[in-house]
Amino acid sequence: MTGKVFLVGSGPGNLELLTMKAREVINSADVILYDQLPGEKVLSILPDSAEKIDVGKYGGCHTMEQVDIETLLVREAKAGKKVVRLKGGDPFVFGRGGEEMETLREHGIVVEMVPGVTSGIAVPECVGIPVTHRSWASQVTFVTGHEDPEREVSLIDWEWLAKSQGTIVIYMGAKNLQVITELLIKSGKVPETKIAVIERGFRKDQRVTCGTLADIGETATRIGVKPPAIIVIGEVVNLYRDGSEGAWAQR
């Protein structure tokens, strides 16, 4: 009898933001494939009864390649097991959940998605930056800062983004921050546009660095900004107040 796979979003890393559905599925799993993005607090509650397999990426090194992760999901499900693929944020927002769903469907395996709170909204929110605001931004665009390296032509329209009057939220962009800001300025974005880089959201070592497109690259290099980080670009950054992140970071 073939098992079932759950693609589970764990949220932005704070245990309080893990959904009841996610907790229920995790607690009843036979096998859990996880990476580092759920965070230590979420990983600490994984049940002893489940086999736990680390498939994360650390410092640019993959514990397991994506194709091997998908092969493992198929194998465990075909062995009749209840399999949880645990991801940070939401599995369908730059989490490769769509690819895994396709592979599982191709093999006739039942797959259920368990949505999670995406970090692109939650992390700015926890430091007092709303991604939309009636006075500042009537639209928000989510962008990956790390496209498929095998793609020759980018799917991101930087000129359109530069003209956008809304908020731009960039996932996985810390390492390419200088390139991203230069692309936006070259495409016509005003160099004085406000930007915030929020590292390690919801964790005790969370840090917020603000600046402009013109100077954030130099600042980030000087202070050593590192992933994971969410980048917010736009006038909503004006609403950030130093210290407003304290309550969540200390939980």
Query: What's the confidence (pLDDT) of residue 57?
Result: 72
Q: Decide if 57 is catalytic.
A: yes
pLDDT above 60: residue 246: no
Query: What's the confidence (pLDDT) of residue 154?
Result: 81
pLDDT above 90: residue 63: no
Of 24-38, 141-155, 172-186, the one with minimum mean pLDDT is 141-155
Residue in 41, 52, 57, 82 annotated catalytic: 57
Residue in 35, 81, 189, 194 annotated catalytic: 35
Domains and CATH numbers, the chain: 4-117 (3.40.1010.10), 120-249 (3.30.950.10)
Mean pLDDT to the nearest integer, 11-23: 95
Mean pLDDT to the nearest integer, 219-223: 97
pLDDT above 60: residue 251: no
C-alpha 124/C-alpha 143 separation (Å) is 15
Q: Decide if 172 is catalytic.
A: yes
Residue in 4, 52, 172, 175 annotated catalytic: 172
DSSP per-residue letters across 172-203: S-STTHHHHHHHHHHTT--TT-EEEEEESTTS
Instruction: Name 224's Cβ contacts closer than 8 Å, sequence gap at least 6.
Output: none
Of 162-176, 187-201, 232-246, the one with minimum mean pLDDT is 232-246
pLDDT tens-digit map of 124-155: 999 999 999 999 999 999 999 987 666 667 88
- % of the chain surpassing 70 pLDDT: 92
Of 29-43, 57-71, 73-87, the one with minimum mean pLDDT is 57-71
